[in-house]
């Protein structure tokens, strides 16, 4: 008889692996990618490919030559970072800026902390914010969605709905006058607006959310808490003064709220471990996002909001614990 | 909505291949090796020596304290020796080895098949009888049953909970017992109710055994105070804390026992053994054992004499499959891998599971991605990812405050981890270190 295997229990395992989870995220991102290609044409393809290839390449190079580890780029996490990075930038961004952004995302935000599982901040967002601060002009020239009529090198650019609003409020215009310059809510929902790839179509991102919930890749708590907080906060402001504040639906459908709530804030590594912690995290993101949008200098704030809350995750994890069984005795 | 426990839990593939196999009596083995320590607590003392003749049901080892249990011979024959033999723990343990000659039973045992319904003994006598008969928890924990029935002064028990959950995948011994020995089991439950002076007993059964649920529901009409409750299939519902929570919504406090919330939990197999001991004068020397696995030719349930070698069960179920990689004593979630199939069946053997080689190794390990799946499946509300790290760093103080001692070792965290981390291994290590510290503190 062959020798028997010996190991402590359990002896069976769920067939989920890190790789499967990561590729499920990639699948969940595909509808949004398809819509972006439809609206932005070649630019969307070029930007996504550049970001994904350079993220994979930097991870491989760093693991191979600096960390001297077995390269693990097939686990899919670098590909997810690449796609998310592409989703956060204008589709006309020069290739060299994308490569620099990828280097910051993978090299600085991820690998310098020890690779997958150890980074405190969301790598794609670090890359994005780095590019936004370093190359503000290129990073805020948003191509107008005209499909394949859009040329990558010489796109017609325009402001995002949030940008239009910020400018309008700055110029003292009323909200109804600003809204006339902006696509209707229905168009926002389908993604017919200027902006970065991942920001445009709420419907596609929600489709991705449904897929990830169905596959049990993520839980609903973080997206739900962010969306609820933004709805309530902007709703209160809107009810107080609808002439200077946009309605909650506008806030939800523009900018990176859907992308951030569904794909960026739910990044495993940089979000809390307990359900209660996830709610605190999500509510924090919602409050900071609206504060930046309404009171801050930038038209959009969710990237900063997520990064700020990322910094609180270790604190949240050590103070907000799941309810332990038998901790408080409730008999009934 | 079916009842279940509210927090955590997983649902592994059930694999109950032997669910429809009627309990068969395993042919008598040629020799048996009966370990003198088959229970939690002090090992018993052997009272037979080489050359002694024994009958089926004769006491061969005596309980060595309150938390200990008598051991009875499962066969008739001659004691060959009392020696150290490899048992299912993986270590050599003292065993009484008996050569089987015929099948002569102790005269005191009532071998008739009649159902004896009247309970003539008093509560004290029942507990004594159970103690005398060497009955231990047959769900697998093998805690001496008389200890659980001896309620300390000042504690009030108001409900008996009967565990028919069988949440471990593959195992079907309790399932078959509930179908085939239901009346005996119900009388056993009445005996336990009398011993505890309670008027209410709840049988919890997971909904993947609808035949057992409807069979028992039909019968309990004649047994006042006993109720059958169908439960949603969810591992680890057979853990007594989870089962109490699911059935009566009481939460056993951290570090406490079911009797802190007025409940006592016994397994259906134990209830059956209690019936046989109290009504038929038959000590615990045989039990139902499931022999199963994906590649097993004939997944079966056997009535097996304690001490019979596992090899004989495997033969009776069609032999050891070609592709065997692992043999597990118990279920796949909490069972122990055997390093030899020569070991004897003991009181706590609820099943022997044979895993094919492709399912015998662990998942490849990678880094923790902090997906929090281990936190969400933990039925005890712990954070396995954290305890795993703390155990590796030997942060024993922090391990204790983070509740490592509350871990019930159900294995849901390791089962679910996408990175294939051995979370439970490290938590066990942490538990053993912390319990040492707690013990030394008390001294």
**Which of A4, A12, A321 shows the shortest C-beta gap to B338?**
A4
Compute the distance between CA of residue A110 and CA of residue A84 in angstroms, rounded to an integer.
Answer: 14
CB proximity under 8 Å: A 97-116 to B = 115-116
Q: A18 — contact with chain B (CB < 8 Å)?
A: yes
- B219 min Cα distance to partner chain A (Å): 29
Whole-complex ipTM: 0.88
Quick one: what percent of chain B has pLDDT higher than 70? 100
pLDDT at A124: 95
At B18-46, the pLDDT tens digits run 999 999 999 999 999 999 999 999 999 99
pLDDT at A182: 79
Interchain contact, A4 vs B339, CB within 8 Å? yes
At B88-143, the pLDDT tens digits run 888 899 999 999 999 999 999 999 988 999 999 999 999 999 999 999 999 878 99
Residue of chain B with shortest Cα separation from A11: B332
Q: A5 — contact with chain B (CB < 8 Å)?
A: yes
Which chain B residues contact residue A74 at CB under 8 A?
A: none
Compute the distance between CA of residue B92 and CA of residue B343 in angstroms, rounded to an integer.
Answer: 10
At A142-186, the pLDDT tens digits run 877 766 665 565 556 677 888 888 888 888 888 888 888 877 877
pLDDT at A148: 66
Q: Is the pLDDT of residue B176 over 50?
A: yes
Look up residue A207 and give its two tokens. Answer: 């489709």
Compute the distance between CA of residue B61 and CA of residue B77 in angstroms, rounded to an integer.
Answer: 16
What is the pTM (predicted TM-score) of this model?
A: 0.91
pLDDT at A155: 57
Alpha-helical segments (H) within B94-224: 123-132, 145-149, 173-180, 182-196, 210-219
At B260-315, the pLDDT tens digits run 999 999 999 999 999 999 999 999 999 999 999 999 999 999 999 999 999 999 99
Show contacts of B294-300: CB within 8 Å, 24+ apart.
B294/B15, B294/B17, B294/B355, B294/B356, B294/B359, B295/B321, B295/B322, B295/B323, B295/B324, B295/B354, B295/B356, B296/B17, B296/B321, B296/B354, B297/B321, B298/B21, B299/B17, B299/B18, B299/B21, B300/B18, B300/B21, B300/B24
**Which of B250, B383, B425 shows the shortest C-beta gap to A322?**
B383
Q: Do B276 and B292 contact (CB within 8 A), yes or no?
A: no
Each residue's pLDDT, cut to its tens digit, for chain A (332 residues) gives 568 899 999 999 998 999 999 999 999 999 999 988 888 888 899 999 999 999 999 999 999 999 888 888 889 999 999 999 999 998 889 999 999 999 999 999 999 998 888 999 999 999 999 999 999 888 888 877 766 665 565 556 677 888 888 888 888 888 888 888 877 877 777 767 777 887 778 889 999 999 999 999 999 999 999 999 999 999 999 999 888 888 999 899 888 899 999 999 999 999 999 999 999 999 999 999 999 999 988 888 899 999 999 999 999 999 999 999 988 654 44
- B319 min Cα distance to partner chain A (Å): 12
pLDDT at A301: 87
CB pairs under 8 A between A and B: 176
pLDDT at A331: 46
Q: Which residues, including other chains, have CB under 8 Å from residue B2's CB and lie 6 or more apart?
A: B207, B230, B231, B232
Q: Which residues, including other chains, have CB under 8 Å from residue B379's CB and lie 6 or more apart?
A: A325, B5, B7, B8, B9, B236, B239, B241, B242, B408, B410, B412
Interchain contact, B7 vs A323, CB within 8 Å? yes
At B379-430, the pLDDT tens digits run 999 999 999 999 999 999 999 999 999 999 999 999 999 999 999 999 999 9
Q: What share of chain B is helix, strand, coil (3-state, %, to 5)?
A: 30, 20, 50
For residue B221, the 8-state DSSP code is G
């Amino acid at each position: 008889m062959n020798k028997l295997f010996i190991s402590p229990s359990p002896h069976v395992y769920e067939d989920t692996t890190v790789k499967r989870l990561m590729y499920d995220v990639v699948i969940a991102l595909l509808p949004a990618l398809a819509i972006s290609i439809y609206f932005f044409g070649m630019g969307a393809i070029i930007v996504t490919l550049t970001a994904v290839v350079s993220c994979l390449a930097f991870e491989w190079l760093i693991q191979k030559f600096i960390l001297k580890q077995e390269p693990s780029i097939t686990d899919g996490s670098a590909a997810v970072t690449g796609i998310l990075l592409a989703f956060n930038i204008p589709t006309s961004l020069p290739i060299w800026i994308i490569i620099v952004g990828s280097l910051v995302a993978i090299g600085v935000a991820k690998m310098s902390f020890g690779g997958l599982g150890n980074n405190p901040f969301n790598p794609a967002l670090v890359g994005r914010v780095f590019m936004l601060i370093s190359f503000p002009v290129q990073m805020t020239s948003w191509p107008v969605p005209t499909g394949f009529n859009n040329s990558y090198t010489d796109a017609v650019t325009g402001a995002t709905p949030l940008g239009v609003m910020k400018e309008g409020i700055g110029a003292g215009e009323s909200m109804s006058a600003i809204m006339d310059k902006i696509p209707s809510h229905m168009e926002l929902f389908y993604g017919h607006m200027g902006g970065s790839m991942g920001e445009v179509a709420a419907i596609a991102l929600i489709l991705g959310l449904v897929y990830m919930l169905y596959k049990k890749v993520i839980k609903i708590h973080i997206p739900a808490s962010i969306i609820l907080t933004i709805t309530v906060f902007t709703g209160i402001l809107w009810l107080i003064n609808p002439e200077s504040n946009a309605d909650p639906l506008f806030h939800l459908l523009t900018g990176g709220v859907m992308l951030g709530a569904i794909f960026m804030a739910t990044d495993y590594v940089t979000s809390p471990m307990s359900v209660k912690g996830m709610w605190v995290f999500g509510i924090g993101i919602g409050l900071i996002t609206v504060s930046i949008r309404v009171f801050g200098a930038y038209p959009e704030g969710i990237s900063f909001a997520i990064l700020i809350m990322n910094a609180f995750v270790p604190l949240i994890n050590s103070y907000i614990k799941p309810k332990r069984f038998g901790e408080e005795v409730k008999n009934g | 909505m079916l009842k279940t426990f509210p927090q955590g839990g997983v649902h592994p593939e059930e694999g109950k291949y032997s669910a429809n196999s009627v309990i068969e009596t395993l042919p008598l083995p040629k020799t048996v090796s009966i370990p003198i320590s088959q229970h939690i607590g002090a090992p018993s003392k052997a009272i037979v020596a080489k050359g002694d003749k024994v009958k089926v049901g004769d006491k061969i080892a005596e309980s060595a304290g309150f938390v200990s249990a008598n051991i009875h011979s499962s066969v008739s024959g001659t004691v060959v020796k009392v020696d150290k033999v490899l048992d299912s723990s993986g270590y050599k343990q003292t065993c009484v080895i008996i050569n089987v000659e015929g099948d002569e039973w102790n005269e005191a045992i009532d071998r008739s098949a009649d159902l004896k319904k009247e309970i003539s003994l008093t509560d004290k006598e029942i507990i004594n009888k159970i103690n005398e008969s060497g009955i231990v928890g047959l769900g697998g924990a093998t805690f001496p049953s008389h200890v659980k029935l001896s309620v300390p002064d000042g504690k009030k028990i108001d409900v008996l909970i009967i565990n028919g959950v069988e949440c471990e995948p593959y195992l079907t011994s309790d399932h078959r017992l509930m179908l085939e020995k239901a009346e005996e089991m119900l009388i056993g439950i009445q005996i336990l109710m009398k011993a505890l002076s309670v008027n209410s007993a709840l049988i919890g059964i997971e909904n993947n055994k609808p035949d057992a649920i409807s069979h028992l529901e039909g019968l309990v009409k004649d047994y006042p105070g006993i109720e059958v409750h169908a439960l949603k299939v969810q591992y680890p519902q057979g853990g007594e804390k989870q089962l109490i929570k699911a059935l009566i919504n009481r939460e056993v406090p951290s570090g406490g026992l079911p009797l802190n919330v007025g409940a006592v939990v016994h397994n259906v197999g134990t209830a059956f053994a209690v019936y046989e001991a109290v009504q038929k004068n038959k000590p615990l020397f045989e039990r139902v054992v499931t022999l199963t696995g994906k590649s097993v030719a004939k997944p079966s349930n056997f009535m097996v004499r304690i001490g019979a070698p596992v090899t004989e069960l495997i033969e009776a179920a069609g032999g050891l499959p070609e592709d065997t990689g692992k043999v597990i004593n118990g279920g796949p979630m909490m069972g122990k891998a055997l390093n030899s199939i020569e070991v004897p069946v003991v009181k706590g053997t609820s099943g022997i599971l044979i895993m094919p080689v492709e399912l015998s190794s662990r998942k490849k390990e990678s880094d923790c991605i902090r997906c929090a799946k281990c936190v969400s499946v933990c039925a005890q509300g712990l954070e396995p990812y954290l305890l795993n790290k703390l155990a590796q760093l030997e942060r024993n103080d922090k391990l204790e405050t983070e509740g490592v001692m509350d871990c019930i070792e159900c294995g849901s965290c390791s089962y679910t981890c996408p990175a294939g981390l051995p979370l439970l291994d490290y938590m066990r290590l942490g538990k053993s270190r912390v319990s040492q510290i707690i013990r030394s503190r008390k001294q």
